[in-house]
């Protein structure tokens, strides 16, 4: 399987990654310098966002669907503006998919993003045992678990609603895992 992309997708994903990085860096900046908070955010949050969306794209293209990320520019501006108040609500965009997508395929495409976040969280967690605790690993773990859990909300166009419609057992097991990791 060959992944396809376009210039527009690369621009949109870059804009979204930059905005998410800036927003979380602003929230994180207390106690550390702005350059360090930008680096931490780019790795811990930006990587989680980027690979989450790539997870959706890979699975959708596996099913031979058209799949490309599109940024929601007004939401990117809102995320940065809200970060000055100490929190981030980020809806940076989504992978737009067209082609044959039934309930099962939609569920599998949807769970790919949160599953990537859980995998990243576990990698960040495991790395703490290899190289010791640091802000990148700690933040990377917490943010990726939170991203997975947040995306599992079973309403609207969230990943969770599509997964819930596809398979309630898988939905419940995944949410239980995310809650357990969140509690750690």
**18-36, pLDDT tens digit by residue?**
999 999 999 887 677 888 8
The answer as to whether 44 is a domain residue is: yes
- Closest to 161 measured CA to CA, from 100, 103, 88: 103
68 is known as an active-site residue: no
Is 85 part of a structural domain of the chain?
Answer: yes
Contact 87, 80 (CB under 8 A): no
Residue 66 pairs in a beta bridge with 98
Is residue 66 scored above 80 in pLDDT? yes
Share of the chain above pLDDT 90, in %: 79
The answer to whether residue 117 sits within a structural domain is: yes
- Per-residue pLDDT tens digits for 69-98: 999 999 999 999 999 998 888 789 999 999
pLDDT at position 90: 78
Please list, residue by residue across 29-59, b when 16 or more beta carbons sit within 10 angstroms of its beta carbon and e when fewer do.
Answer: beeeeeeebbbbbbbbbbbbbbbbbbbbbbb
Integer Cα distance of 53 and 120 in angstroms: 13
**What confidence category does residue 42 fall into, taking pLDDT thresholds of 50, 70 and 90?**
very high
Q: Is the pLDDT of residue 7 over 80?
A: yes
| DSSP at 21 | H
Given a cut of 70, whether residue 60 has pLDDT beyond it is yes
Write the pLDDT tens digit of every residue in 107-121.
999 999 999 999 999
Angle between helices 34-41 and 135-151 in degrees, nearest 10: 50
Q: How far is the C-alpha of 142 from the C-alpha of 74, rounded, in Å?
A: 26
pLDDT in the model for residue 30: 67
Among the options 9, 53, 68, 104, which is catalytic?
53
- The number of distinct structural domains making up the chain is 1
Environment class of residue 128 by beta-carbon count within 10 Å: exposed (0-12), middle (13-18) or buried (19+)? middle
pLDDT surpassing 90 at residue 178: yes
Asked, for residue 173, whether it belongs to a domain, the answer is yes
Residue 41, domain extent: 7-183
Say if 125 falls within a structural domain.
yes
| All residues at 6 or more sequence positions from 81 whose CB lies less than 8 Å from its CB, including other chains | none
Full-model pTM: 0.91
* DSSP percent split of the chain into helix, strand, coil, nearest 5: 70, 5, 20
Element (H, E) at 132: none
- 1 assigned to some structural domain: no
Q: Is residue 2 part of a domain?
A: no
Summarize the confidence of residues 44-55 as an average pLDDT.
Answer: 92
């Amino acid at each position: 399987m060959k992944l396809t992309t376009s210039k527009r997708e690369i621009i949109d994903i870059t804009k979204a990654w930059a905005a998410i990085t800036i927003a979380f860096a602003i929230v994180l900046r207390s106690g550390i310098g702005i350059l360090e908070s930008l680096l931490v955010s780019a790795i811990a949050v930006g990587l989680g966002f980027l690979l989450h969306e790539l997870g959706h794209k890979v699975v959708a293209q596996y099913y031979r669907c058209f799949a490309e990320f599109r940024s929601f520019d007004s939401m990117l501006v809102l995320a940065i503006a809200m970060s000055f108040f100490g929190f981030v609500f980020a809806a940076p965009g989504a992978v737009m998919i067209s082609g044959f997508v039934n309930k099962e395929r939609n569920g599998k495409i949807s769970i790919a993003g949160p599953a990537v976040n859980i995998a990243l969280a576990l990698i960040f967690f495991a790395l703490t045992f290899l190289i010791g605790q640091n802000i990148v690993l700690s933040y990377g773990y917490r943010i990726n678990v939170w991203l997975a859990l947040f995306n599992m909300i079973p309403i609207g166009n969230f990943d969770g609603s599509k997964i819930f419609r596809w398979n309630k057992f898988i939905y419940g097991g995944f949410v239980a895992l995310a809650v357990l990791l969140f509690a750690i």
